[in-house]
Amino acid sequence: MSSASYRIERDSMGELRVPADALWGAQTQRAVENFPISGLRLPRGFIRALALIKQAAAAVNARLGLLDRRIASAIEAAAAAVASGAHDAGFPIDVFQTGSGTSSNMNANEVIAHLAAKAGAAVHANDHVNMSQSSNDVIPTAIHVSAALLLHEQLLPALAHLAGVIAAKESEVEGIVTTGRTHLMDAMPVTLAQELSGWRTQIENGAARLRATEPRLLCLAQGGTAVGTGINAPPEFGAAFCAELRRLTGVAFQPNRNFFEALSAQDAAVELSGQLKVIAVSLMKIANDLRWMNSGPLAGLGEIAVPALQPGSSIMPGKVNPVIPEAATMVAAQVIGNDAAITIAGQSGNFQLNVMLPVIAYNLLESIGLLANVSRALADRAIAGFTVNRTRLAETLDRNPILVTALNPVIGYEKGAAIAKKAYAEGRPIREVAADMTDLAREELDRLLDPSELTRGGIKGGSSGGG
């Protein structure tokens, strides 16, 4: 590094060369050099949360008479610029760093101090930007704030959109009857709308689970400082900070009722990750149902056709694959894996501090973003546009021996089993075999075995008849 390409920065450990145009200082540079591990950086949502924390803290420190109003205003302006995404290049530190996230907290402090200094204010990264704070309460707070904001802005709206698209499709396919399946084997009929209603309810329940978790997520560690006692912060700081953050974001953040829990544990993040995993499992089920229903078109089920989006093979002309459902299954796998990492990290609360905070932040926010994006893709590019092969559905329904279940109240289970076996063996429609093996009139068989009626449940036969 030539002398023209760097400047000298100083911290408590001494002098260090920093790239001349870098917004950060010595502590950030040490972290860059210490952790050349993955090339992964903490995501935009986390950087925004850090900046919002610094902005709110500066406002509160000024209001409490701890910080000169001119310095506070410079910090607030610089932090707002960072929160907007204008300076993301100033956050180069690897995810796999010090477990408290101190490096990332100091990165934010140094960038904001540097920006404020460029605007003409003499701002110190520790004394001013980090006033009334510690990395040990800032980083847990940033995890909660970033996750809560992404839930409100991305995932909950995406799930609502997906549920709405499924509901619209339910209306579109209302009355279309298909063969139900259990164990991947033919079962009693259902309507496509009934089948889709199960998907929709899974998604609605997933959103409800997120909302049920939210009260713990909105409780923040800020004010606990180093070990939960609140050393070097005024007693009223935590509450005032949350009020200011509510003003900045419109989200009802509040101080955690116990800062020792907030610093030493990440139970709320683990809880949220578990709910994200449930949503991933739901999306995996829905995506795989779509893949099965779309399979073929000749040698598979071929009941629906999802939109053709791109060529499916580099060697087989004309092949088209269900690429969006496949992407959804991979997202589900990633989120389930992220949950495993977050669960292990959540166990790493040693005495007064969890020391796997950056990896919790990274995986949690990745899961939220992936689920939001793939939910919209699944809605708009797979479910909204799939078409139904009514002819195929009618053919399989007509030849489904399991329809004989509806005759159980009339002819009994044993007679029904014999009819089903004969229909399977001979490949004949169940009505024909039932007409041969019972004294039920054709009209009565048509009534009892009407697939549409059978989707409504209840007992279709009586005690008379039989044979």
Residue 261: CB atoms within 10 Å: 17
Which is catalytic among the residues 2, 12, 171, 183? 183
User: Is 114 an annotated catalytic residue?
Assistant: no
CA–CA separation, 410 vs 404, rounded Å? 10
Choose among 239, 238, 242, 244: nearest CA to 225: 238
Residue 235, Cβ density class (10 Å: 0-12 exposed, 13-18 middle, ≥19 buried): exposed
Dihedral (Cα; 252, 255, 258, 262), 10-degree rounding: 80
State which amino acid sits at residue 45: G
- The C-alpha angle 279, 281, 287, rounded to 5 degrees, equals 100
Which is catalytic among the residues 5, 38, 84, 313? 313
CA–CA separation, 275 vs 267, rounded Å? 12
192, 106 contact by CB (below 8 A): no
CA–CA separation, 292 vs 283, rounded Å? 14
CA–CA separation, 88 vs 293, rounded Å? 44
Query: CA–CA distance from 392 to each of 169, 188, 432 (Å)?
Result: 19, 16, 20
Between helices 135-150 and 237-249, what is the axis angle to 10°?
Answer: 30
CA–CA separation, 61 vs 78, rounded Å? 16
Q: Cβ neighbours of residue 217 under 8 Å, at least 6 residues apart?
A: 144, 147, 148, 151, 268, 272
Q: Chain centroid to CA 94: how far?
A: 23
Choose among 274, 233, 240: nearest CA to 255: 240
Show the beta-strand stretches assigned E in 263-379.
304-305, 349-350, 353-354
Residue 422: CB atoms within 10 Å: 18
**Residues marked as catalytic:** 183, 313
